[in-house]
């Protein structure tokens, strides 16, 4: 497992739990607004060993409830199943972030019973997906498979979209909502420039535009929430 960093304490990344966040290295997508660009495009990004990570969390038993695994894209790593299992065996709950392009491995993780919460990014409307992930003509077959797996898993989950002025318009969120119709929770996150983007010069939607996006999604979903507004 290639680990590029971890946040020792978060009250936000794992809803309802006190957790730490571990960042895996590498991603199959090139979203221009990615706020963790060094994890995606730098081959020699500083890494932590698995043992350093496990030594840290072993000292936090009784303090932390769980571990949030994000990236990059964690499911690029074939040993993610064993990594999650080891965390769970230490008594921690696990939240997994994914972009949905690896449904076979996602199914293995769900079936293992070792993950408690899954958060999947829905990057944009189907028409704009390729542009938004930086891969022209990308197939969404695996994305739809992952949506179905997550919604049928019986686990806590959320779908989410980061809204960027250059890539998203309110009508896109009606299409996104149709993709995940019946979902328990959908979050629209306001873009924030981290200073480590793949593409510079991007901007957030206004608060009013964010509310308009939520209204479009709410035509098809019962639980639409905004983050960052």
Q: For position 46, what pLDDT does the model report? A: 59
Per-residue pLDDT band for 200 (boundaries 50, 70, 90) equals: confident
Q: Write down the H helix ranges in 34-79.
A: 37-41, 50-58
- Report in angstroms the alpha-carbon separations of 14 from 84, 97, 155, 197: 15, 10, 14, 24
Cis peptide before 72 (omega within 30 of 0): yes
**223's tokens:** 């639980």
Which residues on neighbouring strands pair with residue 161, listed in sequence order? Answer: 188
Burial class (CB within 10 angstroms; exposed 0-12, middle 13-18, buried 19+) of 226 = middle
The CATH superfamily of 3-227 is: Aldolase class I (3.20.20.70)
In the prediction, which pLDDT does 75 show?
Answer: 97
Cα separation, 158 vs 173, whole angstroms: 15
Q: What is the mean pLDDT of residues 40-68?
A: 86
Per-residue pLDDT reduced to its tens digit, 206-217: 999 999 999 999
Task: Please report which confidence band the pLDDT of residue 186 belongs to, taking 50, 70 and 90 as the band edges.
Answer: very high
- What pTM did the predictor assign? 0.95
Task: Return the higher-pLDDT residue of 48 and 72.
Answer: 72
Return the pLDDT at 199.
87
Average of per-residue pLDDT across 69-95: 96
Q: What is the mean pLDDT of the chain?
A: 94
pLDDT band per the 50, 70, 90 thresholds, residue 44: low
């Amino acid at each position: 497992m290639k680990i590029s960093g971890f946040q020792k304490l978060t009250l936000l990344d794992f809803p309802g739990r006190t957790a730490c966040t571990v960042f895996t290295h590498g991603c199959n997508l090139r979203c221009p607004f990615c706020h963790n660009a060094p994890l995606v495009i730098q081959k020699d990004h500083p890494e932590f060993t698995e043992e350093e990570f496990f030594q840290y969390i072993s000292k936090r038993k009784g303090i932390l409830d769980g571990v949030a695994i994000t990236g990059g894209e964690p499911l690029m790593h074939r040993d993610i199943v064993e990594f999650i299992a080891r965390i769970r065996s230490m008594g921690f709950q696990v939240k997994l972030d994914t972009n949905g392009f690896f449904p076979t491995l996602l199914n293995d993780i769900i079936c293992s019973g070792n993950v408690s919460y899954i958060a999947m990014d829905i990057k944009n409307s189907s028409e704009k997906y390729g542009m938004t992930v930086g891969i022209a003509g990308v197939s969404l077959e695996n994305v739809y498979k992952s949506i179905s797996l997550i919604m049928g898993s019986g686990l806590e989950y959320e779908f989410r979209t980061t809204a960027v002025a250059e890539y998203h318009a309110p009508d896109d969120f009606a299409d996104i909502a149709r993709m995940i119709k019946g979902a328990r929770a959908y979050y629209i996150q306001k873009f924030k420039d981290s200073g480590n983007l793949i593409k510079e010069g991007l901007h957030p939607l206004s608060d009013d535009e964010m509310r308009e996006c939520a209204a479009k999604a709410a035509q098809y979903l019962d639980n639409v929430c905004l983050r960052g507004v």
